Copies of this chain bind each other. A is one copy, B any other.
Amino acid sequence: MTRSRSKYDSGCPVAYALDIFGDRWSLLVIRDMAVKGARTYGELLAGWEGISTNILAQRLKQLEQAGIITKQKDPDSGRSFVYELTQKGRDLAPVLIEIALWSGRYNPDPDAMTGFLDKITADRTGTEARMRAGERP
């Protein structure tokens, strides 16, 4: 955390959250881990949008410092690292779900939602997974 944390911290809960993932890429990284099950640097690099290497490395560091993810050596092979969501990170699933539901209502692309909610809810407790997906106006 070289800088900028708390620069915008007004005490508002939304500002607190945006301080952590309020940028172009952080939430996409979290999504790749929560929805696609991405666990390595390489898998994340190959994400749907194509993040570049320096940005990915920087975001992983920030997310780790914020307690959203952990980084460990691969237990099996010793080579390579494994990133995983913490509870704090997994608890962002409802946020991702609400965003996806909102997009489902307003994104003109009818294929965009395909498979998304199934996957993200699959590893969740289900507490807040009241799916009212097909509400396109």
Residues of A within 8 A of B (CB): 8, 10-18, 22-24, 27-28, 31, 48-49, 67, 88, 91-92, 94-107, 109, 111-113, 116, 128, 130
Add 18 more A-B contacts to A14-B27, A14-B31, A92-B102 (CB < 8 A).
A8-B24, A10-B48, A11-B48, A11-B112, A12-B28, A12-B31, A12-B48, A13-B103, A13-B104, A13-B107, A13-B112, A13-B116, A15-B28, A16-B103, A18-B24, A22-B22, A67-B106, A95-B98
- Max chain B CB contacts within 10 Å: which of A10, A12, A116? A12
Point out the residues of chain B lying under 8 angstroms from A111, CB to CB. 11
Q: Please tell me how many copies of the chain the complex holds.
A: 2
What are some 14 contacts across the A-B interface (CB < 8 A)?
A10-B48, A12-B116, A13-B113, A14-B31, A14-B103, A14-B116, A15-B49, A18-B27, A18-B28, A18-B99, A23-B23, A23-B24, A95-B98, A128-B130
Grouping DSSP codes into helix (H, G, I), strand (E, B) and loop, the A interface class, with mixed when no group exceeds half, is helix
Inter-subunit contact B14/A28 (CB<8 Å) = yes
Q: Which of B17, B24, B103 contacts A102 (CB 8 A)?
A: B17
On chain B, the residues within 8 Å of A106 by CB distance are 67, 88, 91
Q: Measured between alpha carbons, how far is A103 from B100 in the docked complex, in Å?
A: 19
CB < 8 Å neighbour of A100 from B13, B101, B112: B13
